[in-house]
Amino acid sequence: MTTELKVSICVPTYNRPELISQCIDSCLAQTHANIEVVIGDDSKDDRTETLIANRYAHDARIRYLRNTPGLGQARNVASLFARATGDKILLIHDDDYLVENGVERLLIPWQTHPLLEVAFGNQYEVAVDGTVDSAVSDKLNADFHRVKEAAGIQPLAGKTGLIQMFPNNGWLANADLVKRIGYSEQYGMCCDYAFGVELCLAARQVYYVPEYVSYYRITAVSVSTTTRGSTTSASVSAYAFLDTLTLPAALEPARKTALRRIVPIVVSVYAKNAAPWRGLRVALTHLYAYRYGLSARFYYHLAMLARATVAAKP
């Protein structure tokens, strides 16, 4: 792959000085040498700023900026895209990191597909201590439809985003397309999912590389984890986004596939947060998510909603 193509690796960070150095080191170690690492720091203290200054001050590939005050997840990522000067953009979060030849692997499809605009691969699942479980990683990717049989150009690019085959980071895309789509804070906790859907819907071609290109770390302290059981969770936001999204008829089956995964989670969240009627409305509107009443989960959720209704009475 020619080194003429410059890749901007965008790294949003927030209070993770103990993890971000592994992320940055993995970016700087890429076999594709023509890169810049654009960092947006939303941290509440100066530990990350000090680390960057002490460890990377003399590396011209690092472009660091401290956001004061913090921008929040979506606006931080959007600011990184705006600052990127490369031909391609890759997003990697501060607690995750790249396989040494991850960028190179993702660039290869452009050699034979000049109209290609987006490429992505598999993610290893990594424990907080850095342990990689290959079996768990294989299952993670299979659960999100990343299997060898699906390799190559995707027949319906938009479907890739809708069914969450497209990962939340570790992907590579043409910079002009990424900047045109942008990251919007209007989608709340599901801004990464909404971005992926809109990116794939707008792309001429999307390519799946059936190889591991990045490491996805499971941490207990994250915005998505701490809001998982609340009505501000990513699942609730993703449901609202999906439910109102205008799609061509060919992509309606993909919307259903996505809602089958999300609807039961949303119903459970509403039951646990004293909003039983909202939960019931979602469940009855999307009965296919419960196999039209043939799923035991449906009756369990009905019981949860009933208990929530009784508890809500004065």
Q: Please, are residues 83 and 155 in contact by the beta-carbon 8 Å criterion?
A: no
| E strands present in 94-250 | 97-98, 118-126, 152-153, 172-174, 206-217
pLDDT in tens, 54-100: 999 999 999 999 999 999 999 999 999 999 999 999 999 999 999 99
The amino acid occupying position 191 is C
**Is residue 80 located within the same domain as residue 125?**
yes
Residue type, 149: E
pLDDT at 223 over 80: no
The answer to whether the beta carbons of residues 123 and 137 sit under 8 Å apart is yes
Predicted pLDDT of residue 224: 47
Domain-terminating residue out of 173, 195, 222: 222
Nearest-angstrom CA–CA distance, 118 and 229: 32
Based on the domain organization, do 120 and 268 belong to the same domain?
no
Mean pLDDT of 222-246: 77
Give the three-state DSSP class for 217. strand
Same domain, 60 and 99: yes
Q: Do 171 and 241 fall within a single domain?
A: no
Could you tell me if 237 and 149 lie in one domain? no
Asked if the structure places residue 15 within a domain, the reply is yes
Q: How far apart are CA 254 and CA 157, in angstroms?
A: 11
Q: Are residues 23 and 147 in the same domain?
A: yes
Q: Identify the CA nearest to 307 among candidates 268, 271, 273, 282.
A: 271
Give the structural domain span for 307: 227-312
* Residue pLDDT, tens place only, 125-181: 999 888 999 999 999 999 999 999 999 999 999 999 999 999 999 999 999 999 999
Q: Are 183 and 305 contained in the same domain?
A: no
Specify if 1 maps to a domain: no
What whole-number distance in Å separates Cα of residue 22 and Cα of residue 119?
23
Mean pLDDT across the stretch 12-24?
96
Q: Is the Cβ–Cβ distance between 88 and 175 less than 8 Å?
A: yes
The DSSP-derived string for 25-65 is HHHHT-SS--EEEEEEE--SSSHHHHHHHHHHTT-TTEEEE
The answer to whether the beta carbons of residues 194 and 242 sit under 8 Å apart is no
Do 282 and 211 lie in one domain? The reply is no
Tell me if the bond preceding 17 is cis, omega within 30° of 0: no
Q: Where a domain ends, among 170, 187, 222?
A: 222
199 in Cβ contact with 177 (< 8 Å): yes
Q: Is residue 145 part of a domain?
A: yes
Do 171 and 268 lie in one domain? The reply is: no
The total number of structural domains in the chain stands at 2
Inter-residue contact 120 to 38 (CB < 8 Å):
no
Q: Is the pLDDT of residue 279 over 70?
A: yes
**Number of Cβ within a 10 Å radius of residue 49:** 17
For residue 2, tell me if it sits in a domain.
no
Residue whose pair of structure tokens reads 């960092």 in the numeric block: 39
Q: Are residues 206 and 308 in the same domain?
A: no
Tell me which of 169, 196, 222 is where a domain ends.
222
